[in-house]
């Protein structure tokens, strides 16, 4: 599940207001860790969960815009396979791809 990898990254999260995630991030410890950092979680509960979890459905629905953006960036072979080893060159390739995608 996704929240297993999130355990290693939760301490390095930047100061944000909301965290949008899918059902793979539904865990009580993860919600508590976000709450301790002052981050509001917008994560729907799993279907097996006995107690339902409230979340902002409108905000969750808009999450697909981010996934569409990453999908468009991955259409660029250089970005999807990460040919560049240098982080600065890789970031500039992402910036160039984003510029062309949203210019057209």
Q: What is the pLDDT of residues 23-58, one digit of tens each?
A: 888 888 999 999 999 999 999 988 888 888 888 889
Rounded (5°) CA angle 22-98-17: 40
Integer Cα distance of 86 and 49 in angstroms: 43
Under the banding of pLDDT at 50, 70 and 90, the label for residue 1 is low
Integer Cα distance of 26 and 46 in angstroms: 7
| Residue-by-residue DSSP string for 85-101 | -SHHHHHHHHHHHHHHH
Residue of 19, 95, 104 whose CA lies nearest to 63: 19
Residue of 25, 63, 59 whose CA lies nearest to 45: 25
Residue 84: predicted pLDDT: 79
Integer Cα distance of 41 and 12 in angstroms: 16
- Say whether pTM exceeds 0.85: no
List the single range of 4-8, 41-45, 56-60, 67-71 with lowest mean pLDDT: 4-8
Integer Cα distance of 78 and 62 in angstroms: 27
């Amino acid at each position: 599940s996704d929240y297993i990898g999130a355990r290693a990254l939760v301490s390095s999260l930047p100061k944000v207001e909301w965290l949008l995630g899918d059902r793979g991030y539904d865990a009580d410890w993860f919600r508590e860790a976000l709450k301790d950092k002052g981050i509001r979680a917008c994560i729907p509960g799993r279907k097996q969960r006995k107690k339902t979890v409230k979340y902002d459905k409108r905000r969750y629905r808009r999450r697909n815009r981010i996934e569409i953006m990453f999908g468009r960036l991955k259409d660029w072979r250089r970005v999807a396979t990460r040919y560049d080893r240098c982080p600065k060159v890789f970031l500039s390739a992402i910036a160039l791809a984003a510029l062309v995608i949203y210019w057209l």
